[in-house]
Structure 1
Amino acid sequence: MTNQAPRYRQIADMLREQITNGTYKPGDSLPTEMELCAEHSISRHTAREALRILTDDHLIERRRGAGTIVSAPGAPAFAQPIGDFDSILQYARHTRFDVTVMQDADEDTLDRLGLTGNYRQYIGFRRVGDEQPQAITAVYVRSEYAPDKKTVETLPGSISEWLDGHHAITIDRVVQRMEAVALNKSQADRLGVEKGSPALRTVRRYRDAKGDIILFSESLHPAGRFAYEMRLDRAKG
Structure 2
Amino acid sequence: MSKPALPRYRILANALRAEITSGRLKPGDQLKTELELCEIHNISRHTAREAMRLLTDDKLIERKRGSGTVVAQISAPTFEQPIGDFEAILQYARNAHFVLTSSAPADQEALDRTGLTGKYQQYIGLRTVDGKPPIAITAIYIPKKLAPTDDIIHGLETSVSEWIEQTHGVAVARVVQRMEAVALDASQAKRLGVNTGFPALRTIRRYRDASERIILLSESLHPAGRFAYEMRLDRSR
**Could you state the TM-score of these two structures normalised by the residue count of structure 2?**
0.66
Per-residue CA distance 1:4-61 (angstroms, 9 max, x = gap): xxxxxxxxxxxxxxxxxxxxxxxxxxxxxxxxxxxxxxxxxxxxxxxxxxxxxxxxxx
Identity of aligned residues (%): 60
Contact residue 126 and residue 135 of structure 1 kept, 8 A:
yes
Per-residue CA distance 1:185-212 (angstroms, 9 max, x = gap): 1111111001111000000111111111
Q: How does 1:52-201 map to 2 (within 5 A)?
A: 76-201=77-202
Q: Distance in 1 between matches of 2:194 and 2:109?
A: 27
Contact residue 178 and residue 203 of structure 2 kept, 8 A:
yes
Number of equivalences: 163
Contact residue 80 and residue 228 of structure 1 kept, 8 A:
yes
Which structure 1 residue ranges, 4+ long, deviate > 6 Å from structure 2? none
User: What is the SS of the residue equivalent to 2:167?
Assistant: helix
Q: Distance in 1 between matches of 2:218 and 2:148?
A: 15
Per-residue CA distance 1:201-226 (angstroms, 9 max, x = gap): 00011111111111111000001111
User: What is the SS of the residue equivalent to 1:234?
Assistant: coil
Q: Distance in 1 between matches of 2:81 and 2:135?
A: 12
Amino acid at match of 1:110: L
Structure 1: unaligned runs, 5 residues or longer: 1-73
Q: Distance in 1 between matches of 2:167 and 2:77?
A: 34
Question: How much has 1:154 moved relative to structure 2?
Answer: 2.3
Contact residue 89 and residue 158 of structure 1 kept, 8 A:
yes
Contact residue 76 and residue 227 of structure 1 kept, 8 A:
no
Q: Distance in 1 between matches of 2:236 and 2:210?
A: 32
Structure 2: unaligned runs, 5 residues or longer: 1-74
Larger radius of gyration: 2
Contact residue 125 and residue 133 of structure 1 kept, 8 A:
yes
